Structure 1
Amino acid sequence: MCTLEKHGDVFILTLTGSSDLDEHRFSPPVIDSILAALSQARAQATPGSVLITTSHGKFFSNGFDLAWAQAAGSRTGARERLHHMIEIFKPIVAAMISLPMPTVAAVNGHAAAAGFVLVLSHDYALMRGDKGVLYMSEVDIGLTLPDYFAALFRAKIGSALVRRDILLRATKIKGEEAVKMGIVDSAHDSMEEVTEASLRLGKELASKKWSGEVYAEIRKSLYPELCGVLGLVEKAVIANSSL
């Protein structure tokens, strides 16, 4: 599940679990919890708001809850459950791309598959250099990519060679490598350093007091293909009262 706390202008969305080994898998209840938190942040947004997403324990997120899908008891049932998770996770990516505030992923552990997708849905990503990897497991486990996954990777990772290694070689990428590849902004030596750096960045962005609506529309304009897949429509916004 997740929690949402507000400290001044900074919202902190935390993926929570029962132990440090909780993988923060995206089951339908977890997806619903995240969507509710994003909706709350959107409703409470003011100029200068920022969202930081983090997690408890060893994992940021290990992706969809495949055990829940397999518990359906049949191949057809498992596929239907997986398809359901793919469909209801799409609004999370849409909500992140249209959220009226800057967003920062504080990646303090492993982020795989849909967990990696959640990281890329943020404007900024900070990661541990000592532990944790980014990993797209689909080619290893025999699953194709949802259309919005592929569109997000094309939008956020400019190098075709990097995308090839992530998606067609299932390369597990550590923090310093991720910085060199242009996937994350910085790598840090511990969970505490990731948290501190994310908060510094969040407060710096909050101090700008930007219009969230303008910020969201500019973000959307950067990724037209992705927004088309997500069903997001751009609109013109003028927040300057002197114009």
Structure 2
Amino acid sequence: MCTLEKRGNVFILTLTGHGDEHRLSRALIDEIHSAVHNIRSDPSATRSVLITTAEGKFFCNGLDIVAARTDPSLLEVMEAKFRSLVADLISLPMPTIAAVTGHASGAGLGLAFSHDYVLMRRDRGFLYVPELDVGLVVPAWYMPLIHLKISSSAARRDVVLASAKVKAEEAVKMGIVDSAHDGAAETVQAAVRLGEELVKRAWDGNVYGRMRETLLRALKHHRMLGVGIVQSCNITPSIITKQII
């Protein structure tokens, strides 16, 4: 479901399967989490960069809602695991880059936003917060990340309160992504070039990670690290199914 490659001091984590939507099932989240743990444990971690990308039409199409429909208890498990994964990514002692080579929807957009830089394919794919279109509520813990990644209030309104499907060129103009590229291979190549430039800066990864965590402290104040969304948002379990990304 995902592979991890190392090129010099650049780690490339790829969600695999050209026909796959890369929905964040419990198994896929665990596999990504394991890859991130392996990166963190590498002796060169504090002098490295992580790039996350995907094969096929989708970068990531959100949580595995189909599985949650057959077993509603899975939803809370997947959401807790995803929050933990986001926390793990924002505490990594290195710069991180999302090379978005297809659609990034719901939690898939959250996965991209958990990286320091977002590069996007120009010829295919959009960024999408679908909750309004399907009658759901964006979880409260996720909103600070949206605020931090989308600085324009007008852009946030369009993304969250109009469920706009934002393509690469528009996303660059809105300040949501850093750059747009002609295809999947070109997007990954651009991410590798950026990663290599960041490695050359020879920053102390531990300092970098702590500074990122400070920058994103508002997100962690929503108790991503080990406390459930029910307690942190003071909502009842009966409406948890309305809070899906």
- The share of aligned pairs that are identical, in percent, is 51
Distance in 1, Cα, partners of 2:185 & 2:224: 37
Give the alignment of 1:1-243 within 5 angstroms: 1-17=1-17, 20-44=18-42, 45-72=44-71, 78=72, 80-231=73-224
Instruction: Report SS of the residue matched to 2:222.
Output: helix
2:181 counterpart letter in structure 1: H
- Structure 1 residues without counterparts, runs of 5 or longer: 73-77, 233-243
1:41-72 CA-partner distances (Å, limit 9, x unpaired)? 11114342000000111110000111111122
Contact (CA 8 Å) 2:22, 2:58: kept in 1 or not? yes
1:203 counterpart letter in structure 2: E
Distance in 1, Cα, partners of 2:83 & 2:140: 10
With over 3 angstroms needed to count, the CA separation of the structure-2 counterparts of 1:174 and 1:144, relative to structure 1, is same
Distance in 2, Cα, partners of 1:203 & 1:16: 23
Larger deviation: 21-30 or 140-149?
A: 140-149
Measured after TM superposition, the shift of residue 230 of structure 1 is 4.3
Measured after TM superposition, the shift of residue 136 of structure 1 is 0.6
Instruction: Report SS of the residue matched to 2:171.
Output: helix
Measured after TM superposition, the shift of residue 11 of structure 1 is 0.6
Distance in 2, Cα, partners of 1:231 & 1:108: 27
Distance in 2, Cα, partners of 1:231 & 1:86: 10
TM-score (norm 2): 0.88
Aligned to 1:235: none
2:142 counterpart letter in structure 1: F
Measured after TM superposition, the shift of residue 140 of structure 1 is 1.1
1:58 counterpart letter in structure 2: K
Distance in 2, Cα, partners of 1:150 & 1:86: 15
Measured after TM superposition, the shift of residue 231 of structure 1 is 5.0
1:189-214 CA-partner distances (Å, limit 9, x unpaired)? 11121011111001111111211110
Distance in 2, Cα, partners of 1:184 & 1:205: 17
